[in-house]
Amino acid sequence: MKVLGVSGSPIKDSNTDRALKAALEATGMDYEFVKLIDYTIAPCKACLGCVDTNVCVIKDDGIALAEKAKEADALIIAGFTPYSTLDSRTKAFIERLYPLRHRYGFMKGKPGGIIVTCAVPKESFKLPPACENGINAITYYMMEEGMEAVGSVRVLGNNPCVKCKYGDECDMSGIKMMFGPDATKASAGINKFEDQPEAVTAAKELGKKIAEYLKSKE
């Protein structure tokens, strides 16, 4: 059996990537890690040109990625949340899986996992629920395709302004928006997946749940 893991993060070796790899490794099964920034994939154009063939008419990497999802026994989708919603690459990937539903429901019954990285801390009540929005977007896709969403993982990421040279002085600094007018890049710090025990445990547990689900269906 094989598990497909798809990361929408464009950052090399990102928190999202590492959380996804932790989950994949915890399955103890063969797996493939896909990073969407390495592919060209447009969003669905709602033409219904895929209903007869179950293959998208857009000639890009979305066709091959959909085939990977079709052939996999399980799917873990990992994204992040710019502007408090699921990132465009991950959303485009999900949309391009639409051809797999017609008549046959190729994703139906497969276990799925969700990993979302966001910069908004859990205790923040002044900002939109970014992680929840991202998790819901992936969860609803799996629900609507008849998949079994076995779990989700929330990872605390980093506000991009932490790495920007104007992060301490910009009027639009996300650091100050999140942590107050006196916050700085230094006080905000850098969040790493490995330093978040709850997220690390959740990622490994997600992988184990995927494996348990697949084994229960043998």
Assess whether pLDDT exceeds 90 at residue 124: no
Assess whether pLDDT exceeds 90 at residue 156: yes
What pLDDT is recorded for position 92? 99
Domain count, the chain: 1
Is position 185 within any domain?
no
- Which H/E stretch holds residue 77? strand 74-80
- Tell me the C-alpha to C-alpha distance, in Å, between residue 190 and each of 130, 193, 195: 18, 10, 10
Assess whether pLDDT exceeds 90 at residue 121: no
Is position 99 within any domain?
yes
Mean pLDDT for 122-148 is 95
What pLDDT is recorded for position 66? 99
**What's 7's domain CATH number?**
3.40.50.360
Domain housing 87: 2-158+191-216
What's the distance, CA 9 to chain centroid? 8
Is position 173 within any domain?
no
Is position 144 within any domain?
yes
Is position 164 within any domain?
no
What's the distance, CA 111 to chain centroid? 15
Is position 32 within any domain?
yes
Is position 166 within any domain?
no
What pLDDT is recorded for position 171? 94
Assess whether pLDDT exceeds 90 at residue 191: yes
Per-residue pLDDT tens over the stretch 51-68: 999 999 999 999 999 999
d(CA 36, CA 18): 15
Per-residue pLDDT tens over the stretch 76-113: 999 999 999 999 999 999 999 999 999 999 999 999 99
What pLDDT is recorded for position 123? 80
Percent of the chain with pLDDT over 70: 100
Tell me the pLDDT of the chain averaged across its residues.
Answer: 97
pTM, rounded to two decimals: 0.97
Per-residue pLDDT tens over the stretch 9-29: 999 999 999 999 999 999 999
To the nearest 10°, report the CA torsion of 9, 105, 208, 211: -130
Is position 175 within any domain?
no
pLDDT band at 126; cut points 50, 70, 90: confident
